[in-house]
Structure 1
Amino acid sequence: MPPSSQKEVYDQLATLLAPPTAFPAGRYRPSSDVSDGLKRVRRIILTEGIPEVDGRPSLRPRIWKLMLKVDHLSAEDYLRYVAMGPSGASEKIRDDTFRTLKTDELFKGRVKNEMLVRLLEAFEWKHIGMNALAAPFLYTMPTQLEAFACFSRLIERWLPEYVQTDLRGVHRGVEILDRCLRIVDPELYEHLMGRGLEANLYAFASVLTLCTCTPPLDEVLKLWDFLLAFGVHLNVLCVIAQLLLIREKLMESQSPMKVLRQFPPLQARAVIGVTVALVKDIPEDLYRELVAHPSHANPP
């Protein structure tokens, strides 16, 4: 996107994100305006992405909080959890955080290991932590408090089935991935299944981490812009989109697991484009299961 276009899109988003206090005294946005504004923000994310403009603050933190409906930050709660010290999972947390995005220089330059440990320790006192899902919030948000609030909301409201001890939501996600792939590309599905490659063998980490496990980080953030705007359930289709982008290589290989062992660098805009096209091919009943699987043990 040319710099001039980036600035125009930035200004559009900034206007839509303007708080009520930016309006004349006594005037408030009616609910219909708020709803229309959200639709316009989502449309811009889908068609243009969230631009970064030199010398101007990133809009991503505000947009992520908007999509997650994080409108209150409780510093008292966060500090209370932090003050409780190491949790019962402290050793495992430190082992996991040491590996989190360890090859990504952008992440290492901004997020210190102790920041990630502190956030996960605080969350462990509430529930259970997931380092790969915490990392993008710590990188994106201006403060650890905001990162904690957004991370908590994601896990508790959007992905509760992903953090059960048996990871039932993730297992359900990869099972749905297989069924969706069979519908959208039966030839590729048969090629992989003929070699014993169910999705749980090659896509488990991508489903579990919302593709955070596939670098580079700046592309992961763009993909998360889309997922937070339109629903984290779409991550399953994003993984299928990545398969379709390397379809030729997979079909030519007699050992496709060698190709799938490490997905190629993430290309967020390409993945989003394919994902949007895939949605219309998924039968309504299966799509309902897809939507429900991260947050409901049994789809409605």
Structure 2
Amino acid sequence: MSTAHSFNKLLNQPKAVSKSRATGEADDGTKKLRRMILVEGIPSEDDVTLRPRVWKILLRVNEVQADTYLHYVSRGPCQVREKIRNDTFRTLATDKGFKERVREDMLVRLLDAFVWRSHDRQDEEHFGFTYVQGMNVLAAPFLYTMPSEVEAFFCFSKFIEEACPLYVQPTLEGVHRGLKLLDRCLQFVDPELFVYLRSKNLSAEIYAFPSVLTLCACTPPLDQVLKLWDFLLAFGVHLNVLCVIAQLLLMREDVMASPSPMKLLRTFPPLEAPPVIGIAVTLVRDLPPELYEELAKHPFETNQ
């Protein structure tokens, strides 16, 4: 199976966040946008103005209502505010650019508002939501990228509710499922590396939990995280599992030569989005169709 086939498989698959549409198919404009992201990426000189527009198109955020967000904010701290505050001060703490652009109070407000929104919508939503571990890091790229807190809120909400609802359930069901799938996918694409890690009692649950939980947003630098998220928003967050495998393959030689590979895996090397995306795309062709289908559905489908 060729790399071209992998491209086509990605471009033509129903996107995870499109599952609620009658046909599940992206329109021609969205397909062109996805192809651009895959082949060229968002031009770095235009990413500040272009990326917010692209993300809103991919998430199908057509309406942003400031008064709705202000209504949630006016209700003050939600019932899990203390839990939120325990995490927000640590969010991307080593990234100076993030700290300069996104204050902690913005992150707290957005997460408070999301919990209030979910509280009000609990009768109409398939999944219930509250604040869970990792949600602060998932919100961070939206606050950093979007020109306003209001736009960040609506994009984050749509993303959580449609793209990866199982990742933010109290049991982190989607995350744990993703980690199990990572092991299964690695066994297919690189049996030798899989066996070596297992010989050291290393499963994905042990070394890849932060990367799967945060969709790699925990691995700096942030500008590379945003490029990776362009790809994940275009084609589905399920591909993050293959992106983590791609990072393993980029450090494969060192891992295989190390008698204690967990020392290397505890902190992944700085993220380089283009090679990671390139490897992830080629890995698609190596997976059996039934495993890839399971991978594609794991962030949002419960009957697996």
Same fold (TM over 0.5): yes
Match of 1:23?
Answer: none
Distance 1:298 1:106 in 2: 41
8 Å Cα contact 2:48/2:145 also seen in 1: no
SS in 1 for 2:45: coil
**Do structure 1's residue 59 and structure 2's residue 50 form an aligned pair?**
yes
**Do structure 1's residue 74 and structure 2's residue 74 form an aligned pair?**
no
Distance 1:245 1:52 in 2: 24
Runs of at least 5 residues in structure 2 that lack an aligned partner in the other structure: 1-25, 119-128
8 Å Cα contact 1:42/1:230 also seen in 2: yes
**Do structure 1's residue 48 and structure 2's residue 40 form an aligned pair?**
yes
- The amino acid that maps onto 2:182 is L
Distance 1:120 1:164 in 2: 15
SS in 2 for 1:291: helix
**Do structure 1's residue 270 and structure 2's residue 262 form an aligned pair?**
no
* CA-CA distance at 1:297 after TM superposition: 1.2
* CA-CA distance at 1:57 after TM superposition: 5.4
Match of 2:13?
Answer: none
1:95-135, CA deviations, whole angstroms, 9 ceiling, x for partnerless residues?
20100000001101110111111101111222323100000
SS in 1 for 2:185: helix
8 Å Cα contact 1:52/1:58 also seen in 2: no
- The amino acid that maps onto 1:97 is T
8 Å Cα contact 1:73/1:145 also seen in 2: yes
Distance 2:44 2:186 in 1: 34
Distance 1:162 1:287 in 2: 18
The counterpart of 2:145, out of the listed 140, 146, 159, is: 140
The counterpart of 1:91, out of the listed 82, 90, 112, is: 82
Distance 1:58 1:226 in 2: 17
- The amino acid that maps onto 2:156 is F
1:251-270, CA deviations, whole angstroms, 9 ceiling, x for partnerless residues?
00010000000000000001
- The amino acid that maps onto 2:99 is K
| TM-score, structure 1 as length reference | 0.86
Structure 1 window deviating more from structure 2 (142-151 vs 77-86): it is 77-86
8 Å Cα contact 1:215/1:266 also seen in 2: yes
Which residues in structure 2 correspond to 1:17-28 (within 5 Å)? none
Match of 2:296?
Answer: 291
Which residues in structure 2 correspond to 1:1-300 (within 5 Å)? 35-53=27-45, 58-125=49-116, 126=118, 127-129=129-131, 130-299=135-304
8 Å Cα contact 1:220/1:266 also seen in 2: yes
- The amino acid that maps onto 2:130 is I
Distance 2:130 2:217 in 1: 18
* CA-CA distance at 1:77 after TM superposition: 2.1
Change (3 A) 1:57 1:189: closer
Distance 1:138 1:202 in 2: 28
Distance 1:142 1:128 in 2: 25
Distance 1:82 1:270 in 2: 40
Runs of at least 5 residues in structure 1 that lack an aligned partner in the other structure: 1-33
CA RMSD after TM alignment? 1.3
SS in 1 for 2:292: helix
Q: Whose radius of gyration is greater, 1 or 2? A: 1
8 Å Cα contact 1:65/1:150 also seen in 2: yes
8 Å Cα contact 2:219/2:268 also seen in 1: yes
Distance 2:30 2:302 in 1: 29
| TM-score, structure 2 as length reference | 0.85
- The amino acid that maps onto 1:85 is G
* CA-CA distance at 1:224 after TM superposition: 0.2
8 Å Cα contact 2:246/2:276 also seen in 1: yes
8 Å Cα contact 1:216/1:265 also seen in 2: yes
8 Å Cα contact 1:181/1:189 also seen in 2: yes
Q: Percent identity?
A: 63
8 Å Cα contact 1:110/1:139 also seen in 2: yes
